[in-house]
Amino acid sequence: MLLQNKIMNLPHIQPLNQSAVQSARERQNQLTKPAGSLGRLEELSIQLAGIAGKNTPQIKNKTIIVMAGDHGVVKEGVSAFPQEVTPQMVLNFLQGGAAINVLAKHVGASVVVVDMGVANEINTDNEKLIRRSVGLGTQNLAHGPAMTRAQAEEAIQSGIEIAWAEIAKGADILGTGDMGIGNTTPSAAIACALTNLSPEKIAGRGTGVDDAGLKRKISVIEKGLQVNRPNAKDGLDVLSKVGGFEIGGLAGVMLGAASKNIPVMVDGFISTAAALLAVTLEPACKDYLIFAHRSKENGHALMLAWLGVKPLLDLDLRLGEGTGAALGISLAESACKILSEMATFGEAGVSQSADS
């Protein structure tokens, strides 16, 4: 149990239910197919069984939580887009016009949009926008801490509470999404701090910076790490020194869901940076995380390897918003249906292989 859990009032995260894991594995081996022939779908169904504590888990109520925040480091020219795009895209999410809205509708998921710290005013009275702003964007990590430790705690606590609220409404799987111009820079800095890999290996083009922009971005991350010297053993320190409000919020979503035995479908580069923080804060939460895809961002594969996890998809995605998570949720639902709805050899009267 972490010291930070006392601050966050986070219940103990239980290990996966091994009885359910074993029962699901045995049932998979009795379904009318060659053993292991559905590959990752079988592995995924067994993980979901362990999370739910049932040998035939179900996914019915799907929610994708998209968290938005701005970053002072954009002043260093690390993004191809201006900061004004963040609130504009938040409005687009609320109006249903973004890629995440299309894919969430396709898989039957609701989209929850959270302002964790957008710098410019979001001009809307739309009640669907959850306002949990920790500040009007972070400070410039190239010149000092991105936020205070208290703000880092607040961001994570907000994520925990939002996850709990959605679960209380009936969500049985959560997906993570992000919006924040410049947020691949703090995400890369978090990854460098925790994995001890160089910015050259982790940093990518984000929204599409050119060669000069990528070189500048790498230099900014190096400077931020030198100036702030984040402690890799302290997730809150890493978040406060080089992170973002929405990244902390997503880490909180993961911790909060795990504490309630609910799986989280992790999106791409930014969400995986949040996962690095969540696992650093509470290693037990990793069993509750499913990684939807491997992003086109340079360092994402290295981040996944550091976590020791395999993504479900590799589609060269680099949009964020939770788009990859939506696709992953569809696979999770498929995995559960295979496990619960497919007939066993005995039920179908089909002969098993001689090796069974």
The residues assigned a catalytic role are 321
Going 297 to 142 to 122 to 165, the CA torsion angle's sign is positive
3-state DSSP assignment of residue 295: coil
SS3 337: helix
Report the distance separating Cα 194 and Cα 306, nearest Å: 9
Q: Bridge-partner residues for 112, per DSSP?
A: 65
Cα-based angle 243, 250, 172 (whole degrees, multiple of 5): 170
3-class SS of residue 315: coil
Angle at 234 between CA 232 and CA 240, to 5 degrees: 95
C-beta of residue 273 within 8 angstroms of C-beta of residue 246:
no
**Helix residue spans in 53-98 (DSSP H):** 85-95
- Tell me the HSE value of 178 on the side-chain side, using a 13 A CA sphere: 33
Give, as one character, the DSSP assignment of residue 74: G
Q: How many CA atoms lie within 13 A of 62 on its CB side?
A: 23
Q: Which of 94, 102, 16, 71 is nearest to 327 (CA)?
A: 102
Q: What is the DSSP string of 145-171?
A: -SS-HHHHHHHHHHHHHHHHHHHHTT-
